[in-house]
Amino acid sequence: MLELALHILDIAENSVRAGAKTVFIDITEDRMEDRLLIGIRDDGAGMDRTTLKRAMDPFYTSKKVRRVGLGLPMLAEAAERAGGSLVIESQEGVGTRVEVNFRLSHIDRQPLGDLTGAYMALIVGNAGVDFVCRHECDGHVFTLDTREIRSEMGDIPMNHVEVLKFIRQHIVEGLSEIGTEAKSSHHY
pLDDT of 12 strictly over 80 = yes
Query: What is the Cα 183 distance to its own chain's centre?
Result: 15
Altogether, the residues listed in the chain come to a count of 188
Query: pTM of the predicted model, to two decimals?
Result: 0.91
Residue 67 within a domain: yes
Residue 9 within a domain: yes
DSSP 45-66: ----HHHHHHTT-TT--S-SS-
Residue 66 within a domain: yes
Question: pLDDT digits over 137-152, tens only?
Answer: 999 999 999 999 999 9
DSSP 140-160: EEEEEEHHHHHHHHTTS-TT-
What CATH number does the domain containing 28 carry? 3.30.565.10
Residue 186 within a domain: no
Question: For residue 88, what pLDDT is reported?
Answer: 95
Question: pLDDT digits over 32-86, tens only?
Answer: 999 999 999 999 999 998 888 888 776 655 555 443 346 888 999 999 999 999 9
Total of domains in the chain: 1
Residue 183 within a domain: no
Parent domain of 151: 4-178
User: Percentage of the chain with pLDDT > 90?
Assistant: 76
Give the separation between CA 159 and CA 129, rounded to whole angstroms.
12
